[in-house]
A and B are shown apart, each in its own frame.
Chain A
């Protein structure tokens, strides 16, 4: 029942707010299954609880799969385990950098009590414009819930950083 076609098609769908990333690269595409009936079931994981892009992603998946001949497509939401930026693929990280967005570092451990952090998050990151490590955090909340806003001290350009969760 062409499971490879369904998987490849779903994997090619891009994130509406980070169009340089496929859902596969973003790590939110969890499973694509083609049932005996020809019905396709796609599992995706939300990035943030209130992420407004989820409905668009679902619609995009349905449309693309319809386009290659799968008439019945169901997109399911898997809340567990929660998405982490560690699932962004190496190709996805490279695509973010190429688009001027700093990719996330390793996510902090979320087991047990989460210690209070009163200083700005220390991250070793590179300016995606000039490669300098002299960067300054402007805000932990950037243009979308998943990004922080930085400025490069050398080239003075502001840039987004996908923050670790």
Chain B
């Protein structure tokens, strides 16, 4: 290697000291290793697990939808921003699904003997659509850039309002995940809200697309504040947050963005469930099946696989 090459190798010299220095692939590890996962006194383990599963599924499905933007965003900066947001949510999902599994092992799908797949991966990759408990806002098919901006904004405003309260959870894992997560969600929310204002005040085309996206997602906004019995039970035992109690705070934040963007609050009615059942009940649209088909196919083909 001549001097010229050596000089231009410098960007990587710190990274590739030797093969052992940089591990390609992370193998399996327990994300809750060393974390106190004792169930708080007086809390029903199944309640805690059901609640953690809901929050974890929201993050997992939303992360997957946002990750579909990777390499497809309008410019490099937003491609990276959306990829980072998806990664943060994936990290939250991993901790929450691991928490759910630790609290109630009966939730975890049983895999063939000898499978090295950890519990949080078994929950992500080996459940059917009706076993997912995410809100439907997370799963609907992607649209244009305005659509992902509106979706990330609505999702983050709602989730941050919940997580601000969840920091006080009696469950030390949920409290710690929330304390870290609020920092991430604040960046996600502000990123999307700024783009919302920018698109609203941009060209006729950008404003039209933004309003179309808002109208199409709006019917899924009220569902976020429904209080499912698992959420009510988790709130009652001090480990979770009843989403109906953060509606006012979330609406106030949303109103600030709409005012800055000079956009009227939509009036469209909420999307109905099926016989009164919604995402939290395991009732989903076809869109979730498509997400899962793509997300789960490799893991399901190799239940004994080591990555």
CB contacts (< 8 Å) of B92 on chain A: these are 49-50
Partner of A48, one of B15, B88, B197: B88
In contact, B31 and A77 (Cβ under 8 angstroms): yes
In contact, B80 and A139 (Cβ under 8 angstroms): yes
For window 70-89 of A, CB contacts with B under 8 Å fall at 74-83
**Does A149 interact with chain B (Cβ within 8 Å)?**
yes
**Contacts A82-B176, A112-B164: A49 and B95 contacting too (C-beta < 8 A)?**
yes
Closest to A60 in B: B21
A77 to B31, CA, bound (A): 8
Closest to B95 in A: A49
In contact, A48 and B176 (Cβ under 8 angstroms): no
For window 100-144 of A, CB contacts with B under 8 Å fall at 110, 112-114, 116-120, 138-144
For window 40-74 of A, CB contacts with B under 8 Å fall at 43, 46, 48-52, 55-56, 58-60, 63, 74
CB contacts (< 8 Å) of A149 on chain B: these are 77, 80
CB contacts (< 8 Å) of B180 on chain A: these are 46, 48-49, 79, 82-83
**Does B45 interact with chain A (Cβ within 8 Å)?**
no
Interface residues of A, dominant DSSP:
loop
**Contacts A48-B88, A48-B184, A49-B91: A114 and B160 contacting too (C-beta < 8 A)?**
yes
Q: Interface size of B by Cβ–Cβ distance < 8 Å? A: 56
Partner of B33, one of A48, A77, A83, A114: A77
Number of A-B residue pairs having CB atoms within 8 Å of each other in the complex: 132
**Does A90 interact with chain B (Cβ within 8 Å)?**
no
In contact, B88 and A49 (Cβ under 8 angstroms): yes
CB contacts (< 8 Å) of B253 on chain A: these are 116
In contact, B77 and A141 (Cβ under 8 angstroms): yes
Query: B residues near A, CB below 8 A?
Result: 14-15, 20-23, 26-27, 29, 31-35, 77-78, 80-81, 83-85, 87-92, 94-95, 160-161, 164, 172-173, 175-177, 179-184, 186-187, 189-191, 193-194, 197, 249, 253, 256-257, 260
Query: A residues near B, CB below 8 A?
Result: 16, 19-20, 43, 46, 48-52, 55-56, 58-60, 63, 74-83, 110, 112-114, 116-120, 138-145, 149, 163, 165
Q: Which 9 pairs of residues, A with B, have the shortest CB-CB distance?
A: A76-B34, A50-B91, A49-B91, A79-B176, A19-B14, A55-B26, A141-B81, A139-B77, A80-B176
